[in-house]
Amino acid sequence: MQKIKRGDVYEITLGANAFAYAVALKKPLYGFFNKMFDHTVPIDEVAKADFAFRCCVADSAVKTGRWVKVGTCKPDHICDQITFFTYDRISGKLSSYRESENGTDKPLSPDEARLLEPAAVWSGEQVEDRLRDHFAGRPNQHLLSMMP
């Protein structure tokens, strides 16, 4: 079983000759690089890309060996700072959540919420679907289901 440490870089197989990469940030947050490759590449090349998105991921994506550690990098600590949105479907209340602000919630409009990442923990499979959709330029159903 792999131990997850900040800065660990993981290769994610998205299909035949299709690989994406992620870096572990502050647990359980990962950054997913905005580049898909048709072969395994050196970490230095991967780390040059910006993030397509950052989200929280269940440990099972790594601990089961589904995502394979291929090296390490030193992500800037600013990468750990992310504002999420929460959406209470019963009350319709939307708010922002930022851990660095002691978890303080601030009200949001639907338009503001759509610019943020939902406060959710994704499975490895859901992230893989999202990456495939991202690189294909199509909407992701998992993400859309969480939007207001």
| pTM score over 0.85 | yes
Its domain, for residue 111, covers: 8-146
* pLDDT tens profile 100-125: 666 668 899 999 999 999 999 999 99
Instruction: Write down the pLDDT at residue 131.
Output: 98
The tally of CA atoms less than 13 A away on the side-chain side of residue 115 is 5
Mean pLDDT over all residues of the chain?
A: 93
Does residue 1 belong to any structural domain of this protein?
Answer: no
| Residue 57 included in any domain | yes
Is residue 104, in this structure, part of any structural domain at all? Answer: yes
Q: What CA–CA distance (Å, rounded) separates 42 from 21?
A: 11
Close Cβ partners of 3 (under 8 Å, ≥ 6 residues apart)? none
pLDDT band at 98 (very low <50, low <70, confident <90, very high): confident
Does residue 93 lie within any of the structural domains? yes
User: Do 29 and 119 form a contact (C-beta atoms < 8 A)?
Assistant: no
Provide CB contacts within 8 A for 90, sequence distance 6+.
none
* Percent of the chain scoring above 70 in pLDDT: 95
pLDDT, tens only, 4-25: 999 999 999 999 999 999 999 9
